[in-house]
Structure 1
Amino acid sequence: MNSEQVSAAAAGAGRASPLRRPNRRTLPLRFALRELRGGLRGFAVFLACLALGVAAIAGVGAFSRALTDGLAREGTTLLGGDAAFTLVQREASPEEYALIAAGGKVSTIATLRAMARAGTGDALDATLAEVKAVDGAYPMVGALDLVPAQSLAAALAPGDGAYGALADPSLADRLQIKTGDRFQLGEATLVLKGTIEREPDLLSTGIGFGPRLMVSLDALRATQLLQPGSLVRWHYRVKMDRPAELAQFVERVQHGAPEAGFEARTRDAAAPRLENNVRRFTEYLTLVGLTALLVGGVGVANAVKSHLDAKRGVIATFKSLGAPGLTVFGIYLAEVGLIALVGIGIGIAVGSALPFLANAAFGHLLPIPIEPSLQPGAIALALAYGALIALAFALWPLGLAHDVPVSALFREHVEGARRRPRLVYIALTALAVLALAGLAVYASEQRHVAMIYLAAAASVLIVLRLVGAGIMAIARRLPRPRSTALRLALANIHRPAALTPTIVLSLGLGLTLLVTLALIDRSLTRELTSRLPTEAPSFFFLDIQSNETEAFTRFLREKAPQGEVETVPMLRGRILTLGGRPVESLDPPPEFAWVLSSDRGVTYARELPEGSVLAAGEWWPADYAGPPLVSFEREIADAFGLKIGDEVTVNVLGRSITATIANLRDVEWERLAINFVMVFSPNTFAGAPHTSLATLTLPEGGDVARERSLGRAVATEFPAITAVRVKEALTQIGEIVGNLLVAIRGASLVALLSSVLVLAGALAAGQHHRVYDAVILKTLGATRARLIAAYALEYAALGLVTAVVAVGAGAAAAYVVVVYVMKLAFAWSTGAALGAVAVALVLTVGFGLVGTWRALGQKPARILRNL
């Protein structure tokens, strides 16, 4: 090389100085990428935990959005029109109908519960049916699919002395009839023309306790079920001529008939209760996903610590070559961040695909339309949760590497002293935790629930951490047993770098959730199957006309002389004002919004109803004849800020009645006795048409054969009266609750699976300690059997103690949910407690011994020559 080349090279080297002096800002990322070329060995649990939790949150958010988008897109079909106006117990007057019809084409539908009957005498079959009577304009939107295929007009047309009818297949099964057979509804004879395969507006009219029976309005009038005060809901649906003026049209109807008491809905909120339930269930499942992430956070911390332990030689090399602690921290923060992004990406991909998979597999079976699509909001939320969890749990172990001397890093497996990172890393960890809590509260619609959840989660984490420290402290102070296996097991529990805190934390979180769900399940099951039937009535009887109440009561007492009969008058009313405030201006707590959502059953009474206890104020005299008074349920009154002396306005049968609150009652709703939110003084509804509601309580709960016989007798003698067997209703409620619990259990498996992964990862992270111990002890003469026995005793003790703590924490959590949220009696389950203990022992001992067996199989030479 000549002198010019040397000069050029020197000049080039001078110009290339940035390459010889790399940018400090990008240096950590470059080293992290170099290390990651070797793969993600040791981060399997890290990735799995993050992916599971993020997938749960992204999937729940995307699926919820798919449901709400589907409801919004199909709002007109689900509602059966652009707008719907509903009245209870009465039809719209000609003036009210004209006001509605001014908006466009109108379809009139009536819905009620009634008893459908087939056969006679002992061969009589009777079942509760959800009757839907439609006019010729139905359906204005959507398609009604029938089997066999036919027009609705032909199916419901009268002929040969009977009206045509369509039914859900289950109704035909219950009545043991087929297409072409005749049956009875009230005083009318019907002939089954076919079955309903798909009903476009099913969610709008609601899913009741009985199967659907569809008839014409003429057939309904022929049944003689439309009596004054009958519990019939009249729906007037409008397909607007000018859909863009929907809001103005609804406002005109409500202002044009302020006393009508219309319940108005529009295509934008075709199924508001369903949407509310979707939102609530989504919130719960999001919290379950967050629980999975919190559990997975422990796995993140374990994985980072284990990775840093494995890289202590590399870290020592970095520091011996002059790398400052901040650079070391930056390298491994970048490395952990890149791996976290992989896990989060996997979770987002799986979660985002969930609505598409569900729609492809089950979309045709669901009555709810699903509109799957990529949801940026759900993806962003899942990304934020995953990143904050990874950061919050990784900062502490990463910060430990900042100020550690090179010599300490080389001797860490011997020294094992507990350390804390610098204050800056502690502050950053606290900031990440606060950001995570703030995100959880901000993203929640019920922020008080989110705050309670966060407080509970923090309490459980702290308690489990203290329990782990307490176990180590107790083990350290216990006398040394004579048995070598016991002495070694005890020493392993409290030695430096022991797995005790990690095992207690990861296993305890999963078991606490398991016990909580099991005890909630047990309490609900007991409430529905064990306790209620002995206290609840055997039958509810609806739509008893006031002029036949006395005769029906005599009939029941003749058929069931040992039974207890109770009858009360019942009307339906819609609350207009509470305490002088219009209901539109109120913002009730979510759990009490149902009070204002539709018409409420109301009654009047001379005496305090059974199952009620006077909580405040005085009951009116039996012969009271002054201004209207009302008794309000205390808890609901408190929720709306009502007190004695406040006024309540209710629209009943198109008439607005204002009454003063005279007293407040505590009601035992779980007894299923006849009771109401509002009970008025007897003179309030003098002369108003109404029906009666009756209950029959058979001694010792009765039996199925006796109840069915009595049901057939009622259907024969009083065909217009609807009989509801409480046991059947409870069975259906139990099925609904059971399905909900199955969904909850399935979602909670994500959190439980995270716990198992974290436990397995924690035990795997301690593998090098087990190998070291096993080699030394075997060299000193310990047998394989003795070592296995010592490790089994260690894991069994940790699993047993953790299970006991988890049972206590889970029972406390379940008690709060059942008693204070569900307002039910708490039921203890020994099986759930023993199951948690068994799961704990199987997991800890099983995973522990698998790792131990692998440790005992290691060749000692490789370990001994490094001592």
Structure 2
Amino acid sequence: MAEAWLRTLKLAIRFSLREMRGGLSGFMIFLACIALGVAAIGGVNSVAQAISAGVANQGQTLLGGDLRFQVNQRSASDAELGFIRSLGTVSLNSGMRSMARLEDGSDQALVEAKAVDDAYPLFSALKTDPALPRDQLFGERSGVFGAAAPDLLFERLNLHVGDRLKLGSAVFELRARLVSEPDAVSDGFGFAPRLMISSQGLAASGLVQPGSLVENAYKVRLPEGTSEARIKEIQAQAAKDFPQAGWSIRTRSNAAPALSANIERFSQFLTLVGLTALVVGGVGVANAVRAYLDGKRGVIATFKSLGASGGFVFIVYLVQILLIAGLGIVLGLIFGAAMPFVASTLLQSVIPVPAQGGFYPGALAMAALFGLLVTLAFALLPLGRARDVPATALFREMGFESRGMPRLPYTGAALAIVVALAALAILSANDYRIASIFVGATVFAFLVLRLVAVLVQWIAKKSPRVRSVSLRLALGNIHRPGALTPSVVLSLGLGLTLLVTLALIDGNLRRQISGSLPERAPNFFFVDIQSSDVDAFASLVGKESPRGTLVKVPMLRGRIMALNGIEVDKVKIPADGAWVLRGDRGLTYDARQPENATLTEGTWWPQDYSGEPLVSFSAEEGKAIGLKLGDSVTVNVLGRNVTAKIANFRQVQWETMGINFVMVFSPNA
């Protein structure tokens, strides 16, 4: 049996190759659809892997060390600092936002001040123009400290190298332009231009006070050859020995998590767009296969008249379709494989991490599999119909007409391939929920457009007879047996759906950013005002803007350490709520319910409350991470763990631009 089947297969392949000697006429659209879809999917994923490889290969440089311990609003304690220094060479970087002013006070600008010590940087080099030794770049001269800044700050304040500005109570001289900061990516998104200064300069500014919003990052260069396993042991030891440190520990293998997450989202979005284009092209594949078989109806009839079985005919043309699809896939893979090399050049000015040009077989293999599955999903049904049509019908009819659904094995195989395609799209995605929505929306769009096609054909069939011969023929061709109406409606509908979806996403994002702002948004936000300066600041605002409204709220920074006594690292949190647990969150306390707070569950505590610490949690974020009334939340504030019970949930409208917090504690916390 196997030997006979093998002989049949060899014969079918020989006939397939003979028939293809006439060229690929009629299959150019087929080739273009497959090649473009495969190139898009393979190229996007290859570029994403290239950027990820660049991050991994330069992890030490991007992080500024092998390990990074960050504490906010405080310095590391003696015990913590002793532990960090025992690991290797340590460099302290302190960052905070503040206003930099010209010496005469005529202009000012918000800056991201970064203070570095003598050991900075542990890897790579700080590049400035002109290139200066560290003591000349940041050293003190007659009470004036040195600084470096990017072109943006020079342009914003109309400065030149050698000009001076004030930061806090200290005076700084801009001695060079900042060209390249090796560990800038690990510091996260900046809201203002960088101002690079020394640790001594920051101390002289007087900006660092108890509770100041300063981020202290202790970066460690471990001994050469330290393994990833050893780094994980250090992390575990740090968590065990200092459970209330509240520090954020990052390693060289996770140097830029925000950038990596954005790359993953971008890659997934473009992969789904490419898959949509491939699916739309799949309709073109079905049309091309059908038209090709229509042109081969005489050959198929001859095959069957000479005794060829339907299965033999099916294999002959399936082999041809697969060979042509294989050519399209190869072309797509060539373009996809070239994209990382092109991206490594084009993205240098956009992404602060060089893409690692190279060959990424995993991404290309997935793209090839998508292309093959789409080809089979859309080609099996017309091939199955060709297998079942008798020779007499093929000789008699003018075209290759559809006669209902093919046999169950072919229909079942096509359905199984569609399911496999959907499963691959979901399982290969970073966010299963988004991918599932995409698959569901695609299936829904197919069904709706199919119904639209049926409706169009019904209307054309029931339309009154018209005098115009050309119009009458046009209407007849819409509803005649074997008409291309369903395919045309499906192709145009899916293509337009993709374009409209992209346009709506762009429009909604723009409208969400610009249109959701309230009519009266705050003009200014002032942060990090010390309690001793609040009254003086309020008097100044009242004097300068008598009709203005000043809202004052105490604020601290804290990191959520545990939920219901379970460390957050061990709690599985949905993606839409995970941001609450990443990094530090702004915190406040209030005896009275804030005016802009609407409770959705629970009650506010009395003004003279003195029981166990309570917390009011944002309703949307609380539900996203699975919290309910009575649950406990442990937050680390200034190196001390505070555990509070959730007393209520409140609705927070972040788009109002008002002062809002995820958590509001009772004053006794």
1:28 aligns with 2:6: no
Q: Which residue in the other structure is 1:771 paired with?
A: none
Aligned-pair CA distance for 1:496: 3.2
AA in 1 matched with 2:9? R
Q: Kindly report which structure 2 residues correspond to 1:350-369, keeping only aligned pairs within 5 A, or say none.
A: 350-363=335-348, 366-369=351-354
Q: Which residue in the other structure is 1:542 paired with?
A: 527
AA in 1 matched with 2:613? P
Q: Which residue in the other structure is 2:492 paired with?
A: 507
Q: 1:86 aligns with which of 70, 93, 109?
A: 70
Aligned-pair CA distance for 1:486: 4.3
Q: Deviations over 1:219-274 (max 9, x none)?
A: 11111111111100000000012623322223323322221111101111111122
More moved, 604-613 vs 188-197: 604-613
AA in 2 matched with 1:126? Q
Aligned-pair CA distance for 1:404: 1.1
1:344 aligns with 2:326: no
Q: 1:567 aligns with which of 535, 541, 552?
A: 552
Whole-angstrom distance in 1 between the partners of 2:647 and 2:380 = 61
Aligned-pair CA distance for 1:364: 6.2
Whole-angstrom distance in 2 between the partners of 1:410 and 1:276 = 60
1:232 aligns with 2:217: no
Kindly indicate whether the alpha-carbon contact (under 8 Å) linking 1:574 and 1:600 is maintained by their aligned counterparts in 2.
Answer: yes
TM-score relative to the length of structure 2: 0.96
Q: How many residues align?
A: 664
Q: Which residue in the other structure is 2:259 paired with?
A: 274
Does the C-alpha gap of structure 1 residues 534 and 491 become closer, same or farther in structure 2, counting only changes over 3 Å? same
Aligned-pair CA distance for 1:147: 0.8
Aligned-pair CA distance for 1:159: 1.1
1:666 aligns with 2:656: no
Larger Rg over CA atoms? 1
Aligned-pair CA distance for 1:575: 1.1
Q: Secondary structure at the match of 1:155?
A: helix
Q: Secondary structure at the match of 1:567?
A: coil
Kindly indicate whether the alpha-carbon contact (under 8 Å) linking 2:286 and 2:379 is maintained by their aligned counterparts in 1.
Answer: yes
1:640 aligns with 2:654: no
Does the C-alpha gap of structure 1 residues 365 and 441 become closer, same or farther in structure 2, counting only changes over 3 Å? closer
Q: Which residue in the other structure is 2:231 paired with?
A: 246
Whole-angstrom distance in 2 between the partners of 1:503 and 1:293 = 16
Q: Kindly report which structure 2 residues correspond to 1:241-640, keeping only aligned pairs within 5 A, or say none.
A: 241=223, 243-244=226-227, 245-363=230-348, 366-413=351-398, 416=401, 418-484=403-469, 486-532=471-517, 534-640=519-625
Whole-angstrom distance in 1 between the partners of 2:189 and 2:305 = 73
Whole-angstrom distance in 1 between the partners of 2:614 and 2:592 = 13
Q: Secondary structure at the match of 1:191?
A: strand
Aligned-pair CA distance for 1:484: 4.8
Q: Secondary structure at the match of 1:537?
A: coil
Whole-angstrom distance in 2 between the partners of 1:36 and 1:643 = 67
Q: Which residue in the other structure is 2:83 paired with?
A: 99
Q: Which residue in the other structure is 1:216 paired with?
A: 198
Kindly indicate whether the alpha-carbon contact (under 8 Å) linking 2:518 and 2:657 is maintained by their aligned counterparts in 1.
Answer: no
AA in 1 matched with 2:60? T
Whole-angstrom distance in 2 between the partners of 1:567 and 1:489 = 72
AA in 1 matched with 2:283? V
Whole-angstrom distance in 1 between the partners of 2:466 and 2:662 = 66
Whole-angstrom distance in 2 between the partners of 1:324 and 1:170 = 75
Aligned-pair CA distance for 1:46: 0.5
Q: Which residue in the other structure is 1:133 paired with?
A: 115
AA in 1 matched with 2:534? T
Whole-angstrom distance in 1 between the partners of 2:60 and 2:220 = 10
Kindly indicate whether the alpha-carbon contact (under 8 Å) linking 1:132 and 1:212 is maintained by their aligned counterparts in 2.
Answer: yes
AA in 2 matched with 1:247? K
Whole-angstrom distance in 2 between the partners of 1:309 and 1:203 = 58
Whole-angstrom distance in 1 between the partners of 2:351 and 2:588 = 38
AA in 2 matched with 1:51? A
Q: Which residue in the other structure is 1:207 paired with?
A: 189
AA in 1 matched with 2:382? P
Q: Kindly report which structure 2 residues correspond to 1:169-180, keeping only aligned pairs within 5 A, or say none.
A: 169-180=151-162
Q: Which residue in the other structure is 2:139 paired with?
A: 157
Unaligned runs of 5+ in 2: none
Whole-angstrom distance in 1 between the partners of 2:103 and 2:134 = 26
Does the C-alpha gap of structure 1 residues 317 and 483 become closer, same or farther in structure 2, counting only changes over 3 Å? closer
Whole-angstrom distance in 2 between the partners of 1:326 and 1:518 = 46
Kindly indicate whether the alpha-carbon contact (under 8 Å) linking 1:166 and 1:192 is maintained by their aligned counterparts in 2.
Answer: yes
Aligned-pair CA distance for 1:117: 1.4
Kindly indicate whether the alpha-carbon contact (under 8 Å) linking 1:444 and 1:450 is maintained by their aligned counterparts in 2.
Answer: yes
Q: Deviations over 1:117-168 (max 9, x none)?
A: 12536xx221111111000000010121111122233211111331100001
Does the C-alpha gap of structure 1 residues 319 and 165 become closer, same or farther in structure 2, counting only changes over 3 Å? same
Q: Deviations over 1:410-443 (max 9, x none)?
A: 3433694643211111111111111112222222
More moved, 417-426 vs 648-657: 417-426
Q: Which residue in the other structure is 1:787 paired with?
A: none
Whole-angstrom distance in 2 between the partners of 1:611 and 1:137 = 47
1:52 aligns with 2:40: no
Q: Deviations over 1:565-589 (max 9, x none)?
A: 2111000111111122111211111
AA in 2 matched with 1:141? F
More moved, 497-506 vs 181-190: 497-506
Q: Deviations over 1:665-692 (max 9, x none)?
A: 11111112111111001222xxxxxxxx
Whole-angstrom distance in 2 between the partners of 1:485 and 1:153 = 87
TM-score relative to the length of structure 1: 0.74
AA in 2 matched with 1:75? G
Whole-angstrom distance in 2 between the partners of 1:98 and 1:417 = 80
Whole-angstrom distance in 1 between the partners of 2:9 and 2:500 = 49
Kindly indicate whether the alpha-carbon contact (under 8 Å) linking 1:611 and 1:671 is maintained by their aligned counterparts in 2.
Answer: no
AA in 2 matched with 1:495? R
Kindly indicate whether the alpha-carbon contact (under 8 Å) linking 1:647 and 1:660 is maintained by their aligned counterparts in 2.
Answer: yes
Whole-angstrom distance in 2 between the partners of 1:224 and 1:405 = 92
Q: Secondary structure at the match of 2:554?
A: strand
Whole-angstrom distance in 2 between the partners of 1:582 and 1:246 = 20
Does the C-alpha gap of structure 1 residues 355 and 22 become closer, same or farther in structure 2, counting only changes over 3 Å? closer
Q: Deviations over 1:716-765 (max 9, x none)?
A: xxxxxxxxxxxxxxxxxxxxxxxxxxxxxxxxxxxxxxxxxxxxxxxxxx
Does the C-alpha gap of structure 1 residues 533 and 632 become closer, same or farther in structure 2, counting only changes over 3 Å? closer
Whole-angstrom distance in 2 between the partners of 1:627 and 1:584 = 25
Q: Secondary structure at the match of 1:400?
A: helix
Whole-angstrom distance in 2 between the partners of 1:254 and 1:284 = 36
Q: Deviations over 1:541-578 (max 9, x none)?
A: 11111111222223223322332221110001111111
Q: Which residue in the other structure is 2:104 paired with?
A: 120
Does the C-alpha gap of structure 1 residues 415 and 637 become closer, same or farther in structure 2, counting only changes over 3 Å? closer
1:61 aligns with 2:51: no
Whole-angstrom distance in 2 between the partners of 1:611 and 1:389 = 52
Does the C-alpha gap of structure 1 residues 411 and 152 become closer, same or farther in structure 2, counting only changes over 3 Å? farther
Whole-angstrom distance in 2 between the partners of 1:79 and 1:238 = 10
Identity in percent: 50
Kindly indicate whether the alpha-carbon contact (under 8 Å) linking 1:99 and 1:256 is maintained by their aligned counterparts in 2.
Answer: no
Q: Secondary structure at the match of 1:23?
A: helix
Kindly indicate whether the alpha-carbon contact (under 8 Å) linking 1:610 and 1:673 is maintained by their aligned counterparts in 2.
Answer: no
AA in 2 matched with 1:54? V
Kindly indicate whether the alpha-carbon contact (under 8 Å) linking 2:385 and 2:403 is maintained by their aligned counterparts in 1.
Answer: no
Kindly indicate whether the alpha-carbon contact (under 8 Å) linking 2:98 and 2:112 is maintained by their aligned counterparts in 1.
Answer: yes
Q: Deviations over 1:430-489 (max 9, x none)?
A: 111111122222222322322221111000011111101111111211222445554444
Q: Secondary structure at the match of 1:114?
A: strand
Whole-angstrom distance in 2 between the partners of 1:275 and 1:99 = 29
Q: Secondary structure at the match of 1:601?
A: strand
AA in 1 matched with 2:462? R
Q: Deviations over 1:835-861 (max 9, x none)?
A: xxxxxxxxxxxxxxxxxxxxxxxxxxx
Kindly indicate whether the alpha-carbon contact (under 8 Å) linking 2:129 and 2:178 is maintained by their aligned counterparts in 1.
Answer: yes
